[in-house]
Structure 1
Amino acid sequence: MTRSRLILLAPLLLFLVAAYLIPFLGVMRWSVTLPEPGLGQYQTALSDPLILGVLWRTLRICALVTVVTLIMAYAITLIWIRGGAVMRLIVELCILIPFWISVLTRAFGWLAMLSNRGILNTLGQDLGLLSEPLTMVRNEFGVVVGMVHFLIPFAVFPLASAMRAVDERVLLAARGMGASRSRIFWQLFVPMTRGGIFGAALLVFVFSLGFFVTPAILGGGRSVLVAELIWLRIFQSPDWGLAAAISVILMAAIAVLMGLTMKYAKGGPQ
């Protein structure tokens, strides 16, 4: 790397060090010094059934959110990239408008929509479709719905980049050789967008691991995820050392996941 490039990158590197690396090193120090020096907090975090249960619930919900988000985002992106002009405009507005609405507003919107006295349950009972309201919030269902809704726009952009890079000549050649549309889609188009799929999956999964507001509101304290657990350990217990240890474990898991995903996204192990 040339000296001029290093000079241009220096402000960004300094910002990353000041905003991320130094605070994270402070969290690591807390994890081995509070309330007393040692690795006791890590032992507690990896042996406490409550913490392990929250970690497992977080991984399970985030994996489900990632799969559902990818499926919906792939369909939306396909319409956005390959649909008609009017449809592309409508989809583009649907993708961009959520960025103008805060996560808190969206969470309360879903609460108003899905609660026992919310819009969907009230409408279903008025139409005679429901004899009693469905429980769609204060559980994992509401958390998944809220998280998927928030994350779909973030998954669309890497998928759109991959779809725009698809060589149309390959698809036309396959069509000219008699391949059906479904075969072209599954055997050519989807594999050719694999990089975007991996990128979107990684972005959505890592982003979902740190969700706090949406699970706290739509889960109602019954579907606690790891970010909310860390908050509880800091502000309610308080146990800063244990919260720091959980944070470091989460960051380590994210780093391993990112490394494996990037490795296999480039074609798998060599």
Structure 2
Amino acid sequence: MSHLPRLKIASGWFLVAPFLGLLVALYFGPILNILWLSFTDPVPGIGNYLQLVTSDSLLRIVWTTLRICLITTFFSVMIGYCIAYAMVHAHARQQNIMLLLLLISFWISVLVRTFSWLMLLGDNGLLNNTLATMNVISEPIHFVRNELGVLIGMIHYMVPYAVLPLLANMQGLDARIFQASRNLGASGAQTFCRVYLPLTKPGIVAASLLVFILSLGFYVTPAILGGGKVLMTAEYISVQLLVTLKWGTAAMLAALTLFCVMALLWIMSRFMKLSTAFGGSA
């Protein structure tokens, strides 16, 4: 009788094995091909990776990507922290409404959001026309086709992703700790700074890493709101594949991004469950 559970587990693996093999072939096959191209195209060696220290244009693109991702992460987590804090301390009905609005934002395409910002912030957009009508400005303010427009679009898209891990972290805190702090004479500000904020550090770290990881792969928003003046890694990879046909350089940047994402996901797993970061149960 003791062998029955083992037989059930073994038969379960036999059923899953074909689909698992197909998944490995379809997923890891292209990744291995990208890694192979990064070392063999156009000639075998590490020439593609040496461009990271020899090519000024490539260094500038990588630095632009990191700078925009860091700024996006900072403001997204800061805004997301405020939203998550408000949701945790709201009444149940209000919390459900806020959560519904948060989930609705995930259903809106990034392309729709980007074009909406373009209509709002363009030189002939709603904001500039309104300011001109009120005689606040005499010439349009260039909100888009620059780094500012890219940051606005990316932060708007990333805020909901920052809210999820922060909300999961805050909901798991014991409210009696904060009540004890107040009973011991601490003010509201002292309780927040010395008790609440340190307890939410895992959520802050997880939200920061999640937003930064997702920001690394942004393509549509920088391409449209940047107007070709703000070139990030994803768009540069597209140019290398479709225009200059430098597959080795594109594969090297893709591999570099992949390694960076895997390292950041490992770091995030040290602070909280990865499923929690995507809205799963804590």
- Whether TM-score is above 0.5 comes out as yes
Q: Give the one of 156, 175, 181 matched to 1:174.
A: 181
C-alpha displacement of 1:255: 3.2
Which of 218, 227, 235 is 1:228 aligned to?
235
Alignment match, 1:189:
196
Instruction: Determine whether 1:145 maps to 2:172.
Output: no
Counterpart for residue 68 of structure 2: 61
Q: Distance in 1 between matches of 2:95 and 2:129?
A: 33
Pairwise mapping of residues 18-167 of structure 1 onto structure 2 (< 5 A)? 18-85=25-92, 87-167=94-174
Largest Rg, 1 or 2:
2
What is the alpha-carbon distance in structure 2 between the residues aligned to residue 127 and residue 14 of structure 1? 64
- Of residues 212, 215, 225, the one that matches 1:208 is 215
Q: What amino acid does structure 1 have at the position aligned with 2:104? A: I
Cα separation, partners in 2 of 1:9 and 1:133, compared to 1, 3 Å: farther
Pairs aligned (count): 264
User: Normalising by structure 1, what TM-score?
Assistant: 0.90
- How far apart, in 1, do the equivalents of 2:183 and 2:16 lie? 48
Task: Supply the AA of the counterpart residue of 2:100.
Answer: L
Q: Which residue of 1 aligns with 2:280?
A: none
Task: Name the residue aligned to 2:224.
Answer: 217
Residues 13, 61 of structure 1: CA spacing in aligned structure 2 closer, same or farther, 3 A cutoff? farther
- Gapped runs of 5+ residues in structure 2? 273-282
Deviation at 1:11, TM superposition (A): 8.0
Q: How far does the alpha carbon of each residue in 1:191-225 deviate from its partner, in whole angstroms, 9 at most, with x for none?
A: 11111111111110000000001110100110110
- Mark the runs of 5 or more structure 1 residues left unpaired by the alignment: none
Q: Give the SS at the match of 1:65.
A: helix
After superposition, the CA RMSD in angstroms is 2.3
Secondary structure at the residue paired with 2:54?
Answer: coil
SS at match of 2:151: helix
Taking structure 1 as reference, are residues 94 and 130 closer, same or farther at Cα in structure 2, changes over 3 Å only?
farther
Distance 1:11 1:176 in 2: 60
> 2 CA distance for matches of 1:100 and 1:206?
20
Find the aligned partners of 2:262 and 2:213 in 1 and give their Cα distance. 10
**Partner residue of 1:251 out of 258, 262, 270:** 258
Question: Kindly tell me: are residues 195 and 13 of structure 1, through their superposed partners in 2, closer, same or farther at Cα, counting changes over 3 Å?
Answer: farther
TM-score by length of 2: 0.86
Identity %: 39
How far does the alpha carbon of each residue in 1:149-192 deviate from its partner, in whole angstroms, 9 at most, with x for none?
11111111111110001111101100111111111111111111
SS at match of 1:143: helix
Q: Contact 1:79 / 1:91 at 8 angstroms: preserved in 2? A: no
Once residues 78 and 48 of structure 2 are traced to their aligned partners in structure 1, the CA distance between those partners, rounded to angstroms, is 39
Return the offset for 1:14.
Answer: 4.8
Of residues 129-138 and 6-15 in structure 1, the stretch that sits farther from structure 2 once superposed is 6-15
Deviates more, 1:122-131 or 1:63-72: 122-131
Say if 1:262 and 1:235 are closer, same or farther in 2 by CA, change over 3 A. Answer: same
Q: 1:13 to 1:203 in 2, by over 3 A?
A: farther
- Distance in 1, matches of 2:105 and 2:98, equals 12
What amino acid does structure 2 have at the position aligned with 1:195? P
Q: Which of 3, 17, 31 is the equivalent residue of 2:24? A: 17
Q: Deviations over 1:121-169 (max 9, x none)?
A: 1111111221211111011111111111111111111111100011111
